[in-house]
Chain A
C-alpha cells in the first residue's frame, strides 16, 4: 500500500497501470488466450483512453465542459487517414508513416482547437457546453461534404462530389464525403498506441505540474481571484483547450489507422458523450480514474455480449446506478464512514 501511494504521489502510478495493461494483453495475445473480438478492441481502447485523458484536461483541470470533443478526434482521424494514404508511396515504412500521420492529426486538431477556442472560451458554463456541442456537429457536417483525392499532382479537395476533383487516372479518392475515408492501410499497432499513450501521460503530467498548469487550475477554482493575481485567463484556458484538442487529434489518427474505412458519422455527439462518461465515472480531474474507466467501459459491452440485445440496456442501467451510488449523499456518507473505520483499524494495528 505504501509503495502504491508513493507511486501515485509522484504520478508514476499511471505509467505503471498502462505498462501492466500492455504486458497483460500482450502476453494474452502471444499465448493465444485473447478472443478475436477483444484483440480487435485493443487499439480503440487505447484511443479512447487518450481521448478520456484529453477531455479530462479540459473538464477536470480547466473546469470547462466540452460536449464536442469527438469533433477534434474526427479532425485528427481524417487528417491522419489523408496523410497516411498520400504518403503511402513516398514513405514505405509503416511505423514512420503512422508517426507522421499522428503528428499531422494532432497539429490540425490543435489548429481547430485555436479556431474554436477563441470564441468559445469567452462563454461560461452550460453556454460553453452547447457551443462546443454545436462545433462538434459542424465539424461532422463539413466532413460529411468533404471530398479529398490524391494523384500525381498532389492533393485535390472538393465540397460537392468526388468527380469535381478532376483526379488523374492514377488518382485515388481518400475521403469520399459521407462514405468517409476508404482504403486506409492498417498501420496502427497496439505497441505504438501504448507508446503514444505514455507520451500523452507524460505531457499531461508535466503540464499539470508546471506553472501553466497551476495557473489553469487557479482559474478553474476562482476565475476572478486568478485574474486579480495577474493571470491571463483567456490565454491559459486556450492553452489547456488546444493541448487537449491536439491530444484528441492524435488519438483520432491512431484510431482511424486501425480500420480500413472510417465514416464521419462515427464521431458524432454520442461519441463525445461517451468520452465524457469515461471522464465523469473515472472522477473529474483524476487521470488514473480516466484510464481505468475508459478501458473498463470500452471492454464492458464486449463482456456483456452474452446478454446480446440487452447489453446496451444493461450498460445504461450500470451507468445510472454507478452515478446514483457515487453521488448520492447517503451513499457517500456510508462510504466515508467505512473509510474512517478502515483507517481507524489500521491506526490500531500500527499502535499495537
Chain B
C-alpha cells in the first residue's frame, strides 16, 4: 500500500514536470504543444548518449540534455509556431503534430527503433528503508527534483520581471504588449523553460523506466497533457496536483485492478472530473460573454 503510494507519487512527479511544460505553453500561447512529449524523448537520448557513449559524469550530461532541449524548444517555436501566431488553433495543433512526427522520425533515423537500456544516472544516491518500506533512489530524486522545480517556478513567475511578464501575457496579450512587454520574447522564453523541464523529465522518466525508444515520449506526453487538463490547464499548481494525482491513480489501478486496464481507468477518472468540474480541479471559471 505504502510502496504503491510512493511509486505513484514518484511517477506522478514525472507527469507533473511534463505537465508544467504543457500548461505554461498553453497558458501563454493558447496552443496544445503535441511535440512536447517528443522533446522528453530527445532529452532522454541526449543524456543517454553523453553518459553511455562519451562517458560523461551525470551532472554535465543532464545539463547538456537541458541545454539541447531548451535550444530545440526555441528553434521549433521560431520556425514552426511563430509564423502561425495569428492562425486558427487547429492549424497550430496540426503543425505541432507535424513537429512531433518530425522529431520521432529523426530520432528513428539517428538511434534506430531498437530500445536502448538507459543507465541509472542516480545510482550514486542510496535507496532508503523507512519503517520496512523501501524507497527507490529514483523516487527520492524525482520527488526532490519536482519540489525544487515547483518552488523555483513559483518564485520565478511571482517575483521576477520576466515571470510577471509571462503572467501578464497569458492574461491579456494585447494589454501586455501595450505595457511594453516583448510578447514574442516572452513566448520564446516559455517554450525554452518548458523544453528544459521536458529534458529533466526525460532523464527522470528513463531512470525509473530504463528503456529508451523514439516513441518513449508519446504516451507519457499524452498522460501528462491529461494531467494538465485534470488540474486545470494554464494553472501551474494545477499541473502539479493533476500530475501527482494521475500518477497515484495509475499505480493503484495497476496494483489493485488490472495492468492492462490502468490507462483506461486513468482516462475514465479524468472524464468524470471534467464532467463534474469542466475546467479541471484548479482551473479558472471563465464566464461566456454575449
Binding site for B on A (CB under 8 A): 59, 65, 119, 122-124, 126-127, 129-131, 133-135, 137-138, 141-142, 144-145, 178, 224, 269, 273, 276-277, 280-281, 284, 309-310, 312-313, 315-317, 319-320, 323-324, 326-329
Contact = CB atoms under 8 A, between A and B. Distances in A.
A320 B275 contact: no
B88 to A, nearest CB: 7
A315 B106 CA distance: 12
Interface string B144-180: 0000000000000000000000000000000000000
Contacts of A129: 32
A320 B86 CA distance: 16
Contact of B109 (A59, A135, A269, A309): A309
Contacts of A123: 274-275, 278
Contact of A277 (B94, B102, B268): B94
A143 B18 CA distance: 28
A320 B98 contact: yes
Contacts of A317: 98, 102
7 contacts: A126-B32, A280-B90, A280-B91, A284-B90, A309-B108, A320-B95, A327-B91
Given A141-B263, A277-B97, A316-B102, 10 more contacts: A124-B278, A127-B280, A138-B267, A141-B260, A145-B260, A224-B288, A280-B93, A313-B106, A323-B84, A324-B84
A280 B226 contact: no
Contacts of B80: 320, 324
B88 A327 contact: yes
B105 A313 contact: yes
Contact of A145 (B34, B90, B93, B258): B258
Output the residue of A145, A277, A281, A316 with the most chain B CB within 10 A. Answer: A316
Nearest to A269: B222
B120 to A, nearest CB: 30
B54 interface: no
Contacts of A124: 278
A233 to B, nearest CB: 13
Output the residue of B94, B260, B280 with the most chain A CB within 10 A. Answer: B94
A131 B274 contact: yes
A224 B98 contact: no
A138 B264 contact: yes
B274 A323 contact: no
Contacts of A327: 83-84, 87-88, 91
A95 to B, nearest CB: 36
Contacts of B260: 141, 144-145, 178
B102 A313 contact: yes
B222 A126 contact: no
B261 A130 contact: no
Interface string B2-34: 000000000000000000000000100000101
B270 interface: yes
A280 B290 CA distance: 28
Given A127-B274, A316-B105, A324 B83 contact: yes
Contact of A141 (B93, B106, B226, B261): B261
The contact size tier of chain B is 35 or more
B204 interface: no
A323 B106 CA distance: 20
Contact of A224 (B229, B263, B271, B290): B290
Contact of A133 (B88, B101, B222): B222
Interface string B57-84: 0000000000000000000000010011
Interface string B207-232: 00000000000100010011001000
Contacts of A131: 270-271, 274
A127 B84 contact: no
B191 to A, nearest CB: 16
B279 interface: yes
A273 B84 CA distance: 19
B98 A130 contact: no
B192 interface: no
A328 B275 contact: no
Interface string B102-127: 10011011000000000000000000
Contact of B270 (A126, A134, A328): A134
B99 interface: yes
Nearest to B83: A328
A119 B102 contact: no
Given A144-B260, A313-B102, A65 B270 contact: no
Interface in B220-248: 222, 225-226, 229, 233
Contacts of B275: 119, 122-123
B94 A281 contact: yes
Contact of A137 (B105, B233, B267): B267
